[in-house]
C-alpha cells in the first residue's frame, strides 16, 4: 500500500529551513506510529508531500494505518495511490484509472481531476477531457459533471509516473508533534484539561502530564487512563511522562490554615509551584492548564493574574476564551468526553463565598502559615512513568484472582472501549455477557446485582486487573479477571 500525505497548510508557508525541519519531523512521526504494524515502513519527503510505503496486505492492518494517520498532528489530508509508469496513450491512462474507479462509476456522474508535474506533450486539461470521455464510454457512467459530481477520479502525473488517487482521508491538521517545544500539562482528567492537552498536542507541543492526587485512588486511575488514551490516539509518535504528585498533605495544610474564601487561589498557586519544580527537573520551560476565563471563581482574570505570580514560567491556557459547550463538543469529537463524564470527583476544596478578586498581599499573608516543606516532600515523592508503560507498570504488583474459563451463572463484563468490542466481539456460549466500558465501571459497578459473580475482560488483561483490584479494594468481593 502506498499513501501520499499532504502536510498542514501552515507548514507550507514557513521559511525553507523551518519547512524542511517540519517535514522531516512529520516523516519521523509517521514511521514511529506505524513501525509496530510494519517495521519496514518507508517514508520519503518532498516539498509538498510525504510518500508512505508499507508492505501490509491485511485489510485490518491497512485500516489501522489509515486510522493512525488520521489522528497524527501535522497532516492536512492523505490518500492511497496506485503507482504506474506513465503510459504512452490516453487510453492506457484511462485503463489504469478504471482498475480502481470502474465499479464506482456505474450509473454515476463523475469528473476527472488531474495534477501534472514535469514536461509533457499535453496539459492537465487534455488529460481530464480525454480520459473523462474514455471512462464514460467504458465504465457505464451516467455522465460527466464538473460541478459537484457523484465521483471524482483523481490522478497525478509526476514526470514519468502515473498516480491514481483514491480513499482520501482528512487529517488532524496542526504541526507535527515534537516540532515545537515541550510543556507540562496539569491534568485533572475532566473536560477542560483533556481538551487543553489535545489542543497543545495538535499544535506540535510535546505534552507531558502532571496529576495532583488529592486523595482519590479512583481519580488517579481515571486520569492515568485518559492520559494513556490521549497519548495512544494522538501522541504515540513520542514517549512522554505521566507524573503523579501526592498532594493530600499539602491540601490538608491549606484546609487547616487558610481562610475559606482564599483556599481555591492558594491551592492553584501551590500546584503551580510544585509543577514548576517538576518542570525544572525535566528541563521544560512552560506549564499548561485547562482554565477558561470565569468558568469558576478561581478563574477570573484577577485571580488568574495572582495565581500566575506563583511561578516564573509561562503558563499556557489554550482554552482561556473557550465556552464550556465548545469544550464539551471538542471532548466528544476526540473521545475524551466519556472519560470526563465518569471521572471520579474529589472535592478537596469547598469554599464558602470564594473570592473572585484575590489580592496579592492577602494571599501572601495566608500562605505564610503554610508548611512549605510539605510541598517539597510532595514533589520528592512524585511518581514518574512513561505513558506508554503506564497501565502495564501499574498492573505489575496488582494481585487479583484470574480465571481462564467462564462458567454458567457467572457474568463476563467486557470493559473494552465500545469501538473495540464492536470490531472484535467476544463470543461465549452459555455465558451471560454485558458491556461496561472501563471509564464507566467505577461508577456503574455498584448498580449491578451484588449476588452475581462478575469476570472482567479486556484484550491484554491490564485494564481488567487494575479495575478488579480497585473494586476489591472498594469492598466488592464478587469480581475476578477473565483471561481465556
Task: Report in angstroms the alpha-carbon separations of 420 from 222, 434, 438.
Answer: 19, 14, 12
For the record, the C-alpha cell of 32 comes out as 514511529
pLDDT at 86: 94
Domains and CATH numbers, the chain: 2-173 (3.30.2130.30), 182-394 (3.40.50.620), 398-482 (3.40.250.10)
pLDDT at 396: 64
State how beta strands 42-45 and 286-288 pair.
unpaired
Q: Which of 97, 114, 139, 458 is catalytic?
A: 458
pLDDT at 253: 92
pLDDT at 46: 67
Contact 53, 2 (CB under 8 A): yes
Query: What's the pLDDT tens digit per position in 91-143?
Result: 999 999 999 999 999 999 999 999 998 999 999 999 999 999 999 999 989 99
Helix, strand, or coil here: 395? helix
Q: How far apart are CA 69 and CA 477, in angstroms?
A: 43
* Residue 347 a catalytic site member: no
Q: How far apart are CA 25 and CA 19, in angstroms?
A: 10
pLDDT at 447: 87
pLDDT at 114: 95
Contact 290, 319 (CB under 8 A): yes
pLDDT at 45: 78
pLDDT along the chain (484 residues), means of 10: 93 90 94 95 84 92 94 95 93 94 94 93 94 93 93 93 93 94 94 96 96 82 90 95 94 90 93 97 96 89 95 97 96 92 64 86 95 95 92 70 88 85 83 85 84 89 80 86 90
Query: What are the residues facing 151 on neighbouring strands?
Result: 110
Model pTM score: 0.84
Q: Residue 481 CB: number of other CB atoms within 10 A?
A: 21
CA-based nearest residue to 417, from 345, 325, 337, 326:
337
pLDDT at 346: 57
Query: What's the pLDDT tens digit per position in 34-87?
Result: 999 999 999 987 677 899 999 999 999 999 999 999 999 999 999 999 999 999
Helix, strand, or coil here: 76? strand
Provide the mean pLDDT of the chain: 91
Please tell me the number of Cα atoms within 13 Å of 24 on its side-chain side: 6
Task: Report in angstroms the alpha-carbon separations of 18 from 13, 21, 221.
Answer: 9, 5, 40
Amino acid at each position: 500500500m502506498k499513501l501520499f500525505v499532504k502536510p498542514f497548510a501552515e507548514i507550507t508557508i514557513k521559511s525553507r529551513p523551518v519547512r524542511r525541519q517540519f517535514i522531516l519531523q512529520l516523516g519521523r512521526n509517521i514511521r514511529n506510529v506505524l513501525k509496530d504494524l510494519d517495521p519496514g515502513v518507508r517514508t520519503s519527503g518532498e516539498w509538498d508531500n510525504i510518500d508512505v510505503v508499507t508492505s501490509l496486505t491485511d485489510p485490518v492492518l491497512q485500516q489501522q494505518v489509515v486510522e493512525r494517520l488520521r489522528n497524527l498532528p501535522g497532516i492536512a489530508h492523505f490518500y492511497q495511490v496506485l503507482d504506474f509508469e506513465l503510459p504512452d496513450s490516453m487510453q492506457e491512462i484511462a485503463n489504469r484509472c478504471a482498475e480502481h474507479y470502474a465499479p464506482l462509476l456505474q450509473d454515476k456522474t463523475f469528473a476527472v481531476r488531474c495534477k501534472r508535474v514535469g514536461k509533457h506533450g499535453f496539459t492537465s486539461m487534455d488529460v481530464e477531457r480525454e480520459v473523462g470521455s474514455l471512462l464514460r464510454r467504458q465504465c457505464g457512467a451516467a455522465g460527466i459533471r464538473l460541478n459537484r459530481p457523484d465521483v471524482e477520479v483523481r490522478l497525478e502525473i509526476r514526470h514519468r509516473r502515473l498516480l491514481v488517487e483514491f480513499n482520501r482521508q482528512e487529517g488532524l491538521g496542526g504541526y507535527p508533534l515534537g516540532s515545537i517545544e515541550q510543556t507540562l500539562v496539569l491534568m485533572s482528567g475532566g473536560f477542560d484539561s483533556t481538551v487543553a492537552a489535545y489542543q497543545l498536542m495538535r499544535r506540535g507541543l510535546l505534552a507531558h502530564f502532571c496529576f495532583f492526587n488529592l486523595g482519590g485512588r479512583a481519580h488517579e486511575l481515571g486520569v492515568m487512563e485518559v492520559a494513556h488514551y490521549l497519548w495512544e490516539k494522538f501522541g504515540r509518535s513520542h514517549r512522554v511522562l505521566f507524573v503523579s504528585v501526592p498532594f493530600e498533605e499539602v491540601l490538608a495544610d491549606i484546609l487547616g490554615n487558610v481562610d475559606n474564601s482564599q483556599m481555591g487561589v492558594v491551592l492553584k498557586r501551590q500546584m503551580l509551584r510544585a509543577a514548576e519544580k517538576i518542570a525544572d527537573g525535566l528541563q521544560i520551560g512552560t506549564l499548561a492548564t485547562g482554565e477558561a476565563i470565569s468558568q469558576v471563581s478561581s478563574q477570573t482574570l484577577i485571580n488568574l493574574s495572582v495565581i500566575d505570580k506563583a511561578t516564573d514560567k509561562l503558563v499556557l491556557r489554550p482554552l482561556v476564551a473557550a465556552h464550556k459547550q465548545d469544550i464539551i463538543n471538542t471532548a466528544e469529537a476526540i473521545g475524551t468526553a466519556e472519560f470526563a463524564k465518569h471521572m471520579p470527583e474529589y472535592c478537596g476544596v469547598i469554599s464558602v463565598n470564594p473570592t473572585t478578586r484575590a489580592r496579592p498581599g492577602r494571599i501572601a499573608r495566608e500562605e505564610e502559615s503554610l508548611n512549605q516543606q510539605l510541598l517539597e516532600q510532595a514533589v520528592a515523592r512524585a511518581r514518574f512513568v512513561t505513558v506508554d508503560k503506564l497501565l502495564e507498570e501499574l498492573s505489575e504488583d496488582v494481585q487479583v484472582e484470574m480465571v481462564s474459563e467462564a462458567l454458567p451463572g457467572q457474568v463476563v463484563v467486557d470493559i473494552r472501549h465500545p469501538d473495540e468490542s464492536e470490531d472484535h466481539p467476544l463470543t461465549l456460549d452459555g455465558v451471560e455477557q454485558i458491556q461496561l466500558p472501563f471509564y464507566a465501571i467505577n461508577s456503574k459497578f455498584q448498580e449491578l446485582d451484588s449476588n452475581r459473580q462478575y469476570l472482567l475482560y479486556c484484550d491484554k488483561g491490564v485494564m481488567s486487573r487494575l479495575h478488579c483490584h480497585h473494586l476489591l479494594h472498594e469492598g466488592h468481593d464478587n469480581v475476578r479477571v477473565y483471561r481465556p
